[in-house]
Amino acid sequence: MRYASCTTDDVKFLKTLVIDSNSANGSCFNKKKFQSTAVITSLNSQKDRINEIGAIKFAKDNKRKLHHFYSVDSIVPPNSVTVGKKKKFIDISSVAPRLQEKIWGLPPSAAKDQIAPRLSLCMGMPVMIRHNDATELCITRGQDGVVWGWDSAELDDGKETLKTLFIKLNKPPRDVKFNGLPKNVVPIPTAMHGPLAIRTPSGDYLSVKRWQVPALPFFAMTDYASQGKTREANLVDIGRSRNHQAIYTALSRGASADGTAILQGFDATKITCGISGYLRQEF
């Protein structure tokens, strides 16, 4: 698969891993190991939507209240922002309440840094840390865990904003201990991010500084973010994978075929078309 040289038998085998609700393997969602597994997908927009639905379902299934924590945003003048690609920025001086509501409604992937305008969380929910804040304390980008608690404040309009999120790390490289907290529970404080170039539905951009905890719900991740992980239960969606490398990355996270499930059909030509000699030399 790394060389996009899969045979007909290889493709046939992969298709047996595709979930079909009308067949025997459709019951994999009833297996406990898959119920708490984050989906590996290709697009950030897919990841955001799966995380949104997953957060609602997790709270409902566990009979817990879903809390919404909003970012604090301030406008940065567009002429003070340096960007690599030319972007059309909306030139405003402040965030009006109506505009702020629209910004809060945008997905995390509206900005490259993927700092959520609104975090929907409940106790015990799977989350992923988004920034390398303290490598020696296992507070690193891509480290996952569950919500252990939080400290929040109230905004002027009554909405909640996070001050600190406490995460119980899942299988950290080493045990960590903070005074007053259980083993492997780490504090993730709100930090300033930006300036962020936030893409609006019109295609124009807003330049903002954002105060928010750098974490996201962990019901999905991109194939890029999954690199380096080994998963006993590997749930993947390769229907929109860009190429054979993305498909290989997603599927190779699984420790076994028995622990792998593919959510929908895929384009087999991406893994059977072969690659150039130049690209082959890269491996």
The pLDDT value given to residue 283: 56
pTM of the shown model: 0.87
Q: Check whether 237 has a pLDDT greater than 70.
A: yes
The pLDDT value given to residue 127: 97
Beta-bridge mates of residue 217: 127
Q: 40: closest CA among 280, 261, 271?
A: 261
Q: Helix, strand, or coil here: 78?
A: helix
Per-residue pLDDT band for 99 (boundaries 50, 70, 90) equals confident
Q: Check whether 280 has a pLDDT greater than 70.
A: no
Q: 131: closest CA among 38, 216, 226, 42?
A: 216
In the chain, count of helices (H) and strands (E)?
6, 14
Q: Check whether 36 has a pLDDT greater than 90.
A: no
Q: Domain boundaries in the chain?
A: 1-42+223-283, 55-215
- Is residue 250 within 8 A of residue 231, CB to CB? The reply is no
The pLDDT value given to residue 193: 93
Q: Which residues of 254-278 are buried (b: 16+ CB within 10 A; e: fewer)?
A: beeeebbbbbeebebebbbeebeee
Reading the block at residue 145, the tokens are 């865990």
Q: Report CA-CA distances (Å) from 84 to 76, 81, 197, 207.
A: 17, 10, 11, 14
Q: Helix, strand, or coil here: 143?
A: coil
